[in-house]
Chain A
């Protein structure tokens, strides 16, 4: 371990603190900008919403199948997965090609682009800003020792091999902020900001998906549910409770 470096307090006042504050403020700004953009989008297609709701209802039936009597379950199952007019039954040939759907609805692609841009632009700008103003500073020191392997990660932008690895360059401090502030954002901006990224991933994966396919999958799932009533002693229990009440 090399001897301790003496860092100028001006670095603290003009690099470390401003950098962190700017990162937080940019995160907040990004949150509100993306909220603004989301608010201006128009209503989704009612047909898609309807299909989604049907799927949710079928799913909850599947989850709660054991809490209703066999007869009721059969009735509901027939309502959903009837071959002729069940809600989950999709006639063949009517399924819309997702590719065609995407072209017919340019808003979808537009939305995606807006979201991605609101993510990428601030990051690129901040990175450029950090690079331009603060390149080459030793800005911070992490309070625990690390091996040489972390040098590339923590001293990005400094080409000195004799500096102790626990010193962090300003560019790497930017990256540390980028990853570590996620927790803070989830506290100050509410939960939806933290889940934003994962939701975006979900949308990406669900983007090219055929809604009729999900309907079909849900139908198959409902078909293979083994019904087994979980509350066989329910009537006796109700009787006991009522008797106690009468007494």
Chain B
């Protein structure tokens, strides 16, 4: 899958796990969220172009988007070395954040690539 090289953004350790008390560094958290948003947008655009070139239409395209997002989630989890809670406050962050924001970019680039390659 293209574009996993962008996951090298700094995901800093933000939890210190003292007496199982949740301690977070707000700035690092925000940085982590930014990295997630960034990689999701990137993957949405790349995925859109790929879907367009492959000529996927209607439902297949949206399934492809879900697939790309799932791959991104898995990649982010791997990048966090499967210890989500030392980087984010909940699972929702890594699974759902930026999901719908990316959809618009995905549709645009999907349409663009599809039109250039297929309909003319």
Chain A residues close to B by CB (< 8 Å): 4, 7-9, 11-12, 16-17, 20, 63, 67, 140-145, 168, 176-177, 179-184, 186-187, 191, 230-231, 233, 237
Considering only residues 28-86 of chain B, those with a C-beta below 8 Å from chain A are 34, 37-38, 41-42, 44-45, 51-52, 55-59, 61-62
- Residues in A with CB closer than 8 Å to B37 are 186
| Bound Cα distance from A67 to B58, whole angstroms | 54
A142→B107 contact, CB < 8 A: yes
Q: A177-B108, A182-B105, A186-B41 are known contacts. Are A144 and B115 too (CB-CB below 8 A)?
A: no
A14 to chain B, nearest CB (A): 12
B119→A179 contact, CB < 8 A: no
B111→A143 contact, CB < 8 A: yes
The verdict on B114 contacting chain A, using a C-beta distance below 8 Å, is yes
Contact of B104 among A143, A180, A230, A231 (CB under 8 A): A180
A143→B120 contact, CB < 8 A: no
Contact of A180 among B19, B42, B108 (CB under 8 A): B108
| Bound Cα distance from A179 to B104, whole angstroms | 7
Chain B 74-118 per-residue mask, 1 if CB under 8 angstroms from chain A, else 0: 000000000000000000000000000110110111111011100
4 tightest Cβ-Cβ pairs between the two chains A and B = A180-B108, A183-B105, A144-B58, A183-B41
B114→A143 contact, CB < 8 A: yes
The verdict on B21 contacting chain A, using a C-beta distance below 8 Å, is yes
- Residues in B with CB closer than 8 Å to A67 are 23
The verdict on B18 contacting chain A, using a C-beta distance below 8 Å, is yes
| Bound Cα distance from A18 to B116, whole angstroms | 12
| Bound Cα distance from A204 to B20, whole angstroms | 41
- Residues in B with CB closer than 8 Å to A4 are 119
| Bound Cα distance from A195 to B13, whole angstroms | 25
Q: Given contact pairs A7-B120, A184-B105, enumerate 19 new A-B contacts (beta carbons under 8 Å).
A: A12-B116, A16-B112, A140-B112, A140-B115, A141-B111, A141-B115, A176-B108, A179-B104, A180-B108, A181-B105, A182-B105, A183-B45, A184-B41, A186-B38, A186-B41, A187-B45, A191-B34, A231-B21, A237-B19
| Bound Cα distance from A230 to B22, whole angstroms | 10
Chain B residues close to A by CB (< 8 Å): 18-19, 21, 23, 26, 34, 37-38, 41-42, 44-45, 51-52, 55-59, 61-62, 101-102, 104-105, 107-112, 114-116, 119-120
- Residues in A with CB closer than 8 Å to B34 are 191
A143→B56 contact, CB < 8 A: yes
A231→B19 contact, CB < 8 A: yes
- Residues in B with CB closer than 8 Å to A7 are 119-120
B104→A12 contact, CB < 8 A: no
- Residues in B with CB closer than 8 Å to A179 are 104, 108
| Bound Cα distance from A74 to B94, whole angstroms | 39
- Residues in A with CB closer than 8 Å to B18 are 231, 237
| Bound Cα distance from A43 to B106, whole angstroms | 41
- Residues in A with CB closer than 8 Å to B52 are 143
25 contacts between A and B (CB under 8 A): A4-B119, A7-B120, A16-B116, A67-B23, A141-B114, A142-B111, A143-B51, A143-B52, A143-B55, A143-B58, A144-B57, A144-B59, A145-B58, A176-B107, A177-B108, A179-B104, A180-B104, A180-B105, A181-B108, A182-B105, A183-B104, A183-B105, A187-B41, A187-B45, A231-B19
Contact of B107 among A12, A17, A63, A180 (CB under 8 A): A180
